[in-house]
Structure 1
């Protein structure tokens, strides 16, 4: 019998196309144990991993569908491990820009819909004692929280040369059954939940209407308020990828000093970085950029699989050249959205997400995304990862850089995973206009450095990031 999928899970299958595959991935860098020849070690590891052909759900499941409509996940009788686990020799594993370009070419292709929707690619060169794994999994299998939980279970706390089992072959315990109520009570609870969710959705829509009419400006942004840029528009085939690191200890320290969250500090740095990249392409900004912010809708301790998230727009900063003041703007806008999310049921925010994403998908199907405003300009998400070193068999994991999918309407998708005290950051966008995201990686690092330094040195500012600010007449309360 096919395993059921939620509507949100199904949406990632229904909306997939050759131009916009819906898998998420990560680039993992690992060290080869001392005394091992790189080619011999990695090719032997690749062959060993191919031997784990008895995969466990959902890694042994393909999508059972009628036309484009998925019915559920159904186990396959035979795993084609030559497809799922592959090995590639590249020129120089330590050339990060070249490695990112290689990953971008793999990331832009679609997973075979007739097979279980995952792959592991081992990458090495014969002269360096570092190798990489590019792993990708279809988004309908789970959201970031689910996939990171599986990832952590598939790695070891200590090196182990024997008895290692990769993530796709690990048996996961079934969830404890939810308490079953009598049929009549279940019906009434379902009706009550539906009515309360509908009420919360109407409250969200009313708040957006009041924001649109400028009656209440202290609410979430109205969807499709983003600025059209060279990064937004119709999603096309081809990807640009960049990966880099930030010291997460510095991020947390700066967050404490500024009474902000780590997410808000990162939003401020990424906002400045994206402005600089777009300014390089001639953009002038008359309003703030917007980010899509994923919200995990699980309760504390909940370990359900699949997708259980909402994605809502958050306004970023505008008209301030002081990095610290830009951070204060982002803190305010971010907490307005968080407050709205806390007042509504998770199901209401999930329904709201599906609604606005469905509209964006219609625009994409009609190929008119270039003519309408995007939901937002950037998607930025933060996934907590392991706090200490992990091992793939006897190879130490050095870093794990998440690389996500593209949202309808384009933009740049920035995903961060914390690992062993470091923020591993992966960025992806369409390469129809911007051929490389390496400048953005540099700009974001420089923006974080400036934001950190500006706390003690108010003279530091962003001289010009392409923002256009209307002149405001001086008043008796203006600085002179």
Structure 2
């Protein structure tokens, strides 16, 4: 059965290039069962290839007319040697080498004449672990969709017999009650009217902010700062992963009266500033992040994309990490308040509006000449709360590896699994060597934020980030003391 594509789905196909593919991925680490032989991964790959009967969208390619995508249509036969591939590396425990290898798999785009997904099994000869790198085109689904599929492909107990990969599972959607055509048409027109009205209001409020009439609103688009991490996206990727105990994140968010997302926004902001300083970039003004907003209704399980992405101002200039967090909280909640009073579709239209400009700049090769919409994209998604198994192998961690937004920057995605926050970092590597420093800086920034609750004397400078002291106000509580201890 064919499947129509929404306009948002189609944009991921139309704007894709070999320099900036539009697939998303997951790096998953697994532990073999105790009784596994040395041929376990080879046998698992063969078993996966034998499951060549797939269901939508895993059995569908994109039908096009003059390059324009029309819909998903089924293929007669899957090329399982393409969709399931086996690799061998020296040592899975060598994280920098593993990250570099995954980056090489993440760089090329998926074959456009085939169903848009791949499973890569990665083994070594030194451990009882192996890895799965899974990539699927973004037009097949957003983060919410992919997390559901991820959970469906795993089980809470080991499966010895009867294992079925996710692409072969029956995902027949529940039939909905038919709505009368007049009610559906009227509802659609009315919804479009309300969403358009709210979009006009959003643009009007942004215009007032541009004119400095009312600055208490969402940030203006294309306010990001040019750095070595932004600009024209080209071939080449750098990626890294990290883990943080999610119980620590929740405990810290409770003590700081912040959401877990706001705590991690502060952590990533401090870490990105520090990585940029390694390349000679220091800024007195704040950086910006793109924030995805899920537009699905509660319980909605359709696949495809239903998201909006809007910029959020972060913070800079405070040496006290707690004060930086409070600034980020206020800026983050400005966007949340704007989203709460607007029709969900209006934010989707706003996303399409600003992303269209960014895409045009990228297609014309002009991204280096304009400011990016934002400097990072940070998102988080809840995953399984308990231990899961892929067939009879225990899942140890699942790191998301996303696509790069037009204008570049670092894409940071966090998925919670079994009490851990698994974080994936990815960017274009044309101007930087590695994201391994950013991985370390994130961990150090989180520890700094934990410690500052009980020790107010701690500052960003204690973990290496320098902030200019030229602008100390005459109304500061304490006088500035220089490094020679002269007041």
Q: Same fold (TM over 0.5)?
A: yes
Q: What's the counterpart of residue 64 of structure 2?
A: 65
Inter-partner Cα distance in structure 2 for 1:35 and 1:419 = 25
Q: How does 1:113-192 map to 2 (within 5 A)?
A: 113-183=112-182, 185-192=183-190
Q: Is the 8 A contact 2:273 2:282 kept in 1?
A: no
Q: What's the counterpart of residue 95 of structure 1?
A: 94
Inter-partner Cα distance in structure 2 for 1:470 and 1:368 = 35
CA deviation vs aligned residue, 1:65-92 (integer Å, no higher than 9, x gap):
1133100100000000000001111111
Of 215, 218, 228, the match for 2:216 = 218
Inter-partner Cα distance in structure 2 for 1:427 and 1:186 = 42
Partner SS state of residue 98, structure 1: helix
Q: Is the 8 A contact 2:319 2:467 kept in 1?
A: no
CA deviation vs aligned residue, 1:34-57 (integer Å, no higher than 9, x gap):
13223x100000000000000110
Inter-partner Cα distance in structure 2 for 1:179 and 1:349 = 27
Gap change, CA 1:433 and 1:182, over 3 Å in 2: closer
Query: How far off its partner does 1:468 sit?
Result: 4.3
Q: What's the counterpart of residue 461 of structure 1?
A: 459
Gap change, CA 1:473 and 1:384, over 3 Å in 2: closer
Q: How does 1:337-356 map to 2 (within 5 A)?
A: 337-356=335-354
Q: How does 1:254-333 map to 2 (within 5 A)?
A: 254-333=252-331
Q: What's the counterpart of residue 434 of structure 2?
A: 436
Q: Is the 8 A contact 2:158 2:389 kept in 1?
A: yes
CA deviation vs aligned residue, 1:118-141 (integer Å, no higher than 9, x gap):
000000012210000000000000
Q: Is the 8 A contact 1:360 1:408 kept in 2?
A: yes
CA deviation vs aligned residue, 1:427-467 (integer Å, no higher than 9, x gap):
00001011210000000000000001000100110126354
Q: How does 1:196-207 map to 2 (within 5 A)?
A: 196-207=194-205
Gap change, CA 1:130 and 1:171, over 3 Å in 2: same
Query: How far off its partner does 1:192 sit?
Result: 1.4
Query: How far off its partner does 1:189 sit?
Result: 2.2
Query: How far off its partner does 1:211 sit?
Result: 1.3
Query: How far off its partner does 1:360 sit?
Result: 0.1
CA deviation vs aligned residue, 1:144-194 (integer Å, no higher than 9, x gap):
1100001101101101111111111101022332531243x3332222112
1:360 matched to 2:358? yes
Query: How far off its partner does 1:195 sit?
Result: 1.2
The TM-score with structure 1 as length reference comes to: 0.97
Q: Is the 8 A contact 1:90 1:124 kept in 2?
A: yes
Inter-partner Cα distance in structure 2 for 1:474 and 1:257 = 31
CA deviation vs aligned residue, 1:279-326 (integer Å, no higher than 9, x gap):
000012031000000011112222221111110000001110111111
Query: How far off its partner does 1:210 sit?
Result: 1.1
Q: Is the 8 A contact 1:319 1:469 kept in 2?
A: no
Q: Please identify, of 462-471 and 401-410, the stretch whose mean Cα deviation from structure 2 is larger.
A: 462-471
Inter-partner Cα distance in structure 2 for 1:182 and 1:141 = 28
CA deviation vs aligned residue, 1:388-445 (integer Å, no higher than 9, x gap):
0000010000000000000000000001100000000110000101121000000000
- Structure 1 runs of 4+ aligned residues shifted over 6 Å read none
Q: Is the 8 A contact 1:123 1:131 kept in 2?
A: yes
Q: Is the 8 A contact 2:253 2:259 kept in 1?
A: yes
Q: Please identify, of 386-395 and 463-472, the stretch whose mean Cα deviation from structure 2 is larger.
A: 463-472
CA deviation vs aligned residue, 1:216-274 (integer Å, no higher than 9, x gap):
11110000000000000000000001011011100000001111000000000000000
CA deviation vs aligned residue, 1:89-138 (integer Å, no higher than 9, x gap):
11111111111100000100110000000000000012210000000000
The TM-score with structure 2 as length reference comes to: 0.96
Gap change, CA 1:178 and 1:381, over 3 Å in 2: farther
1:26 matched to 2:26? yes
Gap change, CA 1:342 and 1:469, over 3 Å in 2: farther
Inter-partner Cα distance in structure 1 for 2:164 and 2:181 = 42
Q: What's the counterpart of residue 84 of structure 2?
A: 85
Gap change, CA 1:157 and 1:400, over 3 Å in 2: same
Inter-partner Cα distance in structure 2 for 1:306 and 1:352 = 19
1:17 matched to 2:17? yes
Q: What's the counterpart of residue 109 of structure 1?
A: 108
Gap change, CA 1:343 and 1:469, over 3 Å in 2: farther
Report the count of equivalent residues.
477
> Superposition RMSD on alpha carbons, in Å?
1.3
Inter-partner Cα distance in structure 2 for 1:178 and 1:199 = 29
| Unmatched tracts of structure 2, length 5 or more | 480-487
Gap change, CA 1:186 and 1:160, over 3 Å in 2: closer
| Unmatched tracts of structure 1, length 5 or more | none
Q: Is the 8 A contact 1:175 1:304 kept in 2?
A: no
Q: Is the 8 A contact 1:2 1:64 kept in 2?
A: no
Query: How far off its partner does 1:474 sit?
Result: 1.7
